[in-house]
């Protein structure tokens, strides 16, 4: 389900072109196969932010088949790099093959394992962090994400509005979705009220937060 009316979503979807070349093939094949890669409007937003920010060091949490990290790699300067985390062996295998095919292996390092365990071990700082893993974990991993983000760095968090259910009362949400509802509400409350952050919540895709870290 889209956060905007279907007719508007499909109009905007048609306006926005896929990526070009082999990256576009990966994008289309992933959509067709129902793989969980970012939708077109989030691709465009991501590209816009990276084009303005021009990050050198990027961290991604949630790589899947490696589409978004391959896309992000096209914005890197010569000495830029991406570290991307995933815990699902099948996705890691597919991403490795895709990075090889797209010739971006030297730009992207895969950190294999659970983000909850890997993030505390990172001691470098990133210019841009893309959060696109299990949404219920965002509130838990936020302190480490903030720790590894440079002052002035940008964090983009995807899929934060739960098809609009975040705005519903807790008891109106189906029981099996209540935990994630509560955790996403906590995450949204924190990123919008923490004075050390500047945050914009967008109804693009299933909701995206753009967060600038203003101070340590
Ligand atoms: C939505 S997909 C990522 C899509 C990718 N960013 C793209 O657009 O091409 C989410 C991925 O996060 C991974 N994931 C979810 N929770 C995770 C965690 N706690 N640690 C590591 N990986 C996780 C899943 O295995 C899945 O491959």
Q: Report the alpha-carbon distance of residue 184 to residue 84 in Å, rounded.
A: 22
In a domain, 129, yes or no: yes
pLDDT-derived band at 1 (thresholds 50, 70, 90) equals: low
pLDDT digit string (tens) for 161-194?
999 999 999 999 999 999 999 999 999 999 999 9
Pocket of ligand 1 contains residue 116 by CB under 6 Å: yes
Pocket of ligand 1 contains residue 64 by CB under 6 Å: yes
Average confidence (pLDDT) over 32-50: 97
pLDDT-derived band at 115 (thresholds 50, 70, 90) equals: very high
- Name the residue at shortest CA distance from atom 1 of ligand 1: 36
Per mean pLDDT, which range of 9-13, 43-47, 83-87, 211-215 is the poorest? 9-13
Residue 62 alpha carbon, nearest atom of ligand 1: 12
Q: How far is the CA of 57 from the centre of ligand 1 (A)?
A: 19
Which pTM does this prediction carry?
A: 0.97
Q: Does the pLDDT of residue 8 top 70, yes or no? A: yes
pLDDT-derived band at 103 (thresholds 50, 70, 90) equals: very high
In a domain, 1, yes or no: no
Q: Report the alpha-carbon distance of residue 132 to residue 180 in Å, rounded.
A: 15
Domain that holds residue 121: 6-213
In a domain, 114, yes or no: yes
**Domain of 139: which CATH number?**
3.40.50.150
Q: Does the pLDDT of residue 122 top 90, yes or no? A: yes
Pocket of ligand 1 contains residue 137 by CB under 6 Å: yes
Average confidence (pLDDT) over 54-58: 98
In a domain, 44, yes or no: yes
Q: Does the pLDDT of residue 150 top 70, yes or no? A: yes
In a domain, 188, yes or no: yes
What is the reported pLDDT for 2? Answer: 77
Q: How far is the CA of 89 from the centre of ligand 1 (A)?
A: 11
Q: What percent of the chain has pLDDT over 70?
A: 100
What is the reported pLDDT for 130? Answer: 98
Pocket of ligand 1 contains residue 68 by CB under 6 Å: yes
- Name the residue at shortest CA distance from atom 6 of ligand 1: 63
Q: How far is the CA of 122 from the centre of ligand 1 (A)?
A: 18
Residue 67 alpha carbon, nearest atom of ligand 1: 9
Pocket of ligand 1 contains residue 62 by CB under 6 Å: yes
Domain count, the chain: 1
In a domain, 93, yes or no: yes
Distance from chain centroid for Cα 68:
8
Give the residues across from 131 on adjacent strands: 61, 157
Q: Does the pLDDT of residue 204 top 80, yes or no? A: yes
Q: Does the pLDDT of residue 26 top 90, yes or no? A: yes
Q: How far is the CA of 6 from the centre of ligand 1 (A)?
A: 26
In a domain, 63, yes or no: yes
């Amino acid at each position: 389900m889209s956060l905007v009316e279907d007719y508007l979503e499909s109009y905007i979807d048609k306006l926005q072109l896929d990526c070009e070349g082999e990256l576009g093939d990966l994008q289309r094949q992933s959509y067709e196969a129902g793989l969980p890669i970012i939708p077109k409007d989030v691709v465009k937003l991501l590209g816009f932010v990276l084009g303005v920010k021009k990050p050198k060091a990027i961290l991604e949490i949630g790589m899947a088949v490696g589409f978004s990290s391959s896309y992000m790699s096209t914005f890197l300067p010569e000495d830029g790099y991406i570290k991307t985390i995933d815990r699902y062996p099948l996705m890691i295998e597919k991403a490795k093959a895709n990075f090889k095919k797209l010739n971006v292996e030297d730009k992207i390092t895969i950190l294999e394992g659970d983000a909850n365990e890997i993030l505390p071990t990172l001691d470098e700082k990133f210019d841009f962090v893309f959060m696109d893993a299990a949404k219920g974990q965002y509130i838990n991993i936020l302190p480490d994400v903030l720790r590894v983000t440079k002052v002035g760095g940008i964090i983009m968090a995807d899929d934060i509005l739960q098809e609009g259910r975040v705005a519903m009362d807790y008891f109106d949400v189906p029981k099996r979705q209540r935990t994630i509802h509560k955790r996403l509400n906590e995450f949204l409350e924190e990123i919008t009220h923490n004075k050390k952050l500047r945050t914009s919540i967008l109804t693009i895709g299933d909701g995206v937060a753009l967060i600038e870290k203003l101070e340590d």
